[in-house]
Amino acid sequence: MTAMNLVLPSRAAGPPLVSRLAASAAVVEGGVMSNAEVLAWLDERQREQQQHVERVPFAALRGWRFDQRTGDLRHDSGRFFSVLGLSVHSDFGPVRTWSQPIIHQPEIGILGIALRDFDGIPHLLMQAKSEPGNVNGVQLSPTVQATKSNYTGVHGGSAVPYMDLFRRPGPGQVVADVLQSEQGSWFLHKRNRNMVVEVGPEVVAGDDFAWLTLGQVNLLLRHDNLVNMDARTVLSCLPDWRGGRENLVEDAGWSLHTGREVRTWITRRRAEHEVSVAPIPLAQAQGWLRTQHAVTHCNGLYFDVVAVDVSSRGREVPAWSQPLLEPRGMGVAALFVKRIDGVVHALLRARAEPGFLDVVELGPTVQCVPENYEHLPEADRPPYLAQALARRESARYDVVLSEEGGRFRNAQSHYMIIETESDFPAMSDEFRWLTPHQLDELLCYSHHLNVQARTLVAALRSL
Amino acid sequence: MTAMNLVLPSRAAGPPLVSRLAASAAVVEGGVMSNAEVLAWLDERQREQQQHVERVPFAALRGWRFDQRTGDLRHDSGRFFSVLGLSVHSDFGPVRTWSQPIIHQPEIGILGIALRDFDGIPHLLMQAKSEPGNVNGVQLSPTVQATKSNYTGVHGGSAVPYMDLFRRPGPGQVVADVLQSEQGSWFLHKRNRNMVVEVGPEVVAGDDFAWLTLGQVNLLLRHDNLVNMDARTVLSCLPDWRGGRENLVEDAGWSLHTGREVRTWITRRRAEHEVSVAPIPLAQAQGWLRTQHAVTHCNGLYFDVVAVDVSSRGREVPAWSQPLLEPRGMGVAALFVKRIDGVVHALLRARAEPGFLDVVELGPTVQCVPENYEHLPEADRPPYLAQALARRESARYDVVLSEEGGRFRNAQSHYMIIETESDFPAMSDEFRWLTPHQLDELLCYSHHLNVQARTLVAALRSL
């Protein structure tokens, strides 16, 4: 193990683990497991957790039904989530008024990663977890990924492993704990706690779990559909460990815009546009049709709501059925970056998505499913999309990643980081160049970076 | 003028005005106006803006009506605000389920103060403004205090003076611009932009306006019902100017809890309690009765919704009628402070109020209308209330202040700052001791300190 070569103070005497994240990121081969062992473990988990997932008609859902009056799709227990209609009115953009199905899940869940010292190197406890919506079964997930219904046992399954580490952390153990939003086009006001907690040697890895260094996780982040969305968002909420690394030394104090200017910009974007959203009965969502097999848009765009039946050995509940949201088409999430006087800046867009709690969050430079815009005139297509596709060849990062497989079926996007020339312009007040240090600051507070931007922050740090 | 004695660099050459706030706070007598002149000006404005406000039956409201189906009280234009019902369910506290009327005002307004240099001393452009709900007519208000309906001219009144300073500030002129909540028990998801903007010598004070130093404003903050709520919340969003003052020098780096611990605490308080609120027809708010003259609680508690007729010379619209919310009883808002190793700390409470956008914000140590709790057993009365009342004699600050007179009638509270012994304990996880520096940091981000806590931050800085 590379880690063995380092002589560092013991856990009791040393600085908190978080101060050693840079050392963890530097270990890209062999923490407590070699990379070959990690891949073998993932393969084995893939076999062990084999899930059989089958599309079924809504009538075959067990415990879920469409409300007779509203047409909303709900679980009989009233928990988990429901699919409602949402009516949206805004005062900007090419399409200002629409209605759509949306997932309502008011419970706040926990996405948590445990951090443990091994010979001076912090390791992350990652989980191999299959989800019914994943294109490929098992992906690398946080230590814990649980809705309140999960961890309070509403579905009658077994206890969530490691849950107590996050529900009852000791003093000084919490490295990060921040509420973050999820897809604002698909979820209404959804957010989860993103937690990182230091743990001691008494915490050991069960069969579905492995201790990886940050360097190993970053390496896996270069593989298609391997690190799941929940893991990516928690990783982004880790304090940025790169301050001390030689190849990325930057003056944390300098940036194109001051912190105050950035906050002022976000306030203005939130205040100046009116976006009003109101839940409506799903049956009243105009332009959406319900068949026996799907709730679908009349033009075949955006997404479908479908039903699946799942049988599995590895889950808390061995067999169940549930609705999933299945997007039409492959997404693009591209972050443009450039150096200004040597300091890295990323081009963020202030995005109004109907499900955001506070109107606007910062997203990547480009975030869309290109097919949804093909029927619109060129001028109404997303800014920078054409440039992102044209520059794809030279992307510094270009990986296909999945959104959460517990809610979304086959939801994949090309996540890209594209470096541009230093005079590449921000085209309007919707866009700003921010430094990684500024993003890190915003990530300490809820509701500033959307989930796609958070994935790209995790990816940017891995470069 | 005291200011004349100071030799400071000219505006063009000097640092931004905000860096000279401490100098402005030090001028407590005589900026461009002497204190006697300020009081005379306020008296004169009081006479000039004399308003005649009369309680009327709802049937006498012009332009407002109860919706026949829902019982909601709305303006015919659909703008301004409306009074709906709200159904609240929570999993904690002595009363876990209730319904109530609530004001719905989805528009984001602007509360703004202009800052201008006079001989090196920043001055604040304050407005003498009467509001129909004020107990005493005119109070000291921000430069601009305008809903979107106001400044986009929905009500057909004249243009809002100085509005453009805040809608189109030049580069580098914005000192603060942050969305902040208002009373979470009376407003549903209400928030306003709190702005401070630097302006040049071309901006002059109209009849209803005066340039005051921060020291003069702080002095007026010691008078009952003089500085209005909107001015107080904007003042709290000014960067804390006291870092360099000898009598309050404190190590910004030291505090009982780290910033991360404080943010973690807020996240946990937000996540662990479930508060679900849903708008309902006002007619369905259980326990509330509508008479010809008021919407009122069957036990005579909490508040009434009433109607007033207003005639005035000084307002944009010379005569109008409107609903107001009139609380029953005088409020108490008390902040306990103490020194820990010489550093001031204030005891904040994580409060869940039904109208907050994000479940929980930090409020004062005590915030309540004592009468509302008299029917409850001792154990269910607000923590620290008895101590606040017992220690009132020795309060460092004890002033009666009004809530916003454009929405609330005779809404007054005793605002108090009470210094305690250094071993005075925080009694539960609902409470934390934070430094003024930490409060300042949280005030840079939306939805962390409630409006009563913001008033007390402004008061604390004035001591």
Inform me whether the C-beta atom of residue B446 falls under 8 Å from chain A C-beta atoms.
Answer: yes
Minimal Cβ distance to A193: which of B108, B193, B267: B267
Query: Residue A7 above 60 pLDDT?
Result: no
Choose, out of B110, B188, B445, the residue to mutate when testing the contact with A (most A CBs < 10 Å): B445
Within a domain: residue A5?
no
- The CA R_g of chain B, rounded to the nearest whole Å, is 22
Contact assignment for A108 to B264 by CB distance below 8 Å? no
Q: In B, residues 184-203, which contact A (CB 8 Å cutoff)?
A: 193
Average pLDDT over residues A10-21: 68
Q: Which residues of B256-275 are buried (b: 16+ CB within 10 A; e: fewer)?
A: bbeebbbbbbbbbbbbbbeb
Pairing of strands B412-419, B331-340: parallel
Q: What is the pLDDT of residue B248?
A: 38
Q: What is the pLDDT of residue B242?
A: 80
- Answer yes or no: do B181 and B202 share one domain: yes
pLDDT tens column, A139-158: 999 999 998 877 776 555 56
Measured between beta carbons, which residues in chain B are less than 8 angstroms from residue A176?
260, 264
pLDDT tens column, A417-427: 999 999 999 98
Measured between beta carbons, which residues in chain B are less than 8 angstroms from residue A261?
174
- Answer yes or no: do A150 and A191 share one domain: yes
Choose, out of A194, A264, A438, the residue to mutate when testing the contact with B (most B CBs < 10 Å): A264
- Answer yes or no: do B67 and B132 share one domain: no
- Answer yes or no: do B271 and B288 share one domain: no
Query: Residue A211 above 50 pLDDT?
Result: yes
Contact assignment for A274 to B106 by CB distance below 8 Å? yes
Which residues in chain B show pLDDT less than 70?
1-15, 153-158, 243-253, 313-317
Q: What is the pLDDT of residue A252?
A: 56
Q: What is the pLDDT of residue A243?
A: 67
- Answer yes or no: do B213 and B270 share one domain: no
Calculate the alpha carbon distances from A351 to A355, A404, A448, B59, B342 in Å. 11, 20, 10, 44, 45
- Answer yes or no: do B25 and B169 share one domain: yes
Within a domain: residue B253?
no
- Answer yes or no: do B351 and B448 share one domain: yes
Look up residue B166 and give its two tokens: 């805040």
Q: What is the pLDDT of residue A150?
A: 78
Contact assignment for A268 to B107 by CB distance below 8 Å? no
Minimal Cβ distance to A177: which of B148, B267, B274: B267
Average pLDDT over residues A22-37: 92
**DSSP H helical ranges for A65-196:** 148-151, 163-167
- Answer yes or no: do B34 and B146 share one domain: yes
Single-letter code of the amino acid located at A351:
R
Q: What is the pLDDT of residue B12?
A: 43
- Rounded Cα distance between A344 and A12, Å, is 36
Query: Residue A106 above 60 pLDDT?
Result: yes
Q: What is the pLDDT of residue B316?
A: 59
pLDDT tens column, A261-297: 999 999 999 998 888 899 999 999 999 999 999 999 9
Query: Residue A2 above 80 pLDDT?
Result: no
- Rounded Cα distance between A296 and A288, Å, is 6
Inform me whether the C-beta atom of residue A430 falls under 8 Å from chain B C-beta atoms.
Answer: no
Within a domain: residue A344?
yes
Q: What is the pLDDT of residue B205?
A: 96
- The CA R_g of chain A, rounded to the nearest whole Å, is 22
- Answer yes or no: do B143 and B267 share one domain: no
Query: Residue A10 above 60 pLDDT?
Result: no
Give the number of domains in chain A. Answer: 3
Within a domain: residue B33?
yes
- Answer yes or no: do A308 and A196 share one domain: no
The CATH number of the domain where A264 resides is what?
A: 3.90.79.40
Look up the domain containing A299 and give its range: 53-103+277-327
Inform me whether the C-beta atom of residue A119 falls under 8 Å from chain B C-beta atoms.
Answer: no
Mean pLDDT, rounded, of chain A:
90
- Answer yes or no: do A39 and A63 share one domain: no
Within a domain: residue B189?
yes
Does residue A352 contact residue A388 with C-beta atoms inside 8 Å?
Answer: no
Q: What is the pLDDT of residue A316?
A: 59
- Rounded Cα distance between B272 and A191, Å, is 13
pLDDT tens column, B372-397: 998 888 888 999 999 999 999 999 99
- Rounded Cα distance between A127 and B228, Å, is 54
- Answer yes or no: do B99 and B115 share one domain: no
Tell me the ipTM for this assembly.
Answer: 0.90
Inform me whether the C-beta atom of residue A15 falls under 8 Å from chain B C-beta atoms.
Answer: no
Choose, out of A70, A260, A273, the residue to mutate when testing the contact with B (most B CBs < 10 Å): A260
Within a domain: residue B171?
yes
Does residue A242 contact residue A248 with C-beta atoms inside 8 Å?
Answer: yes
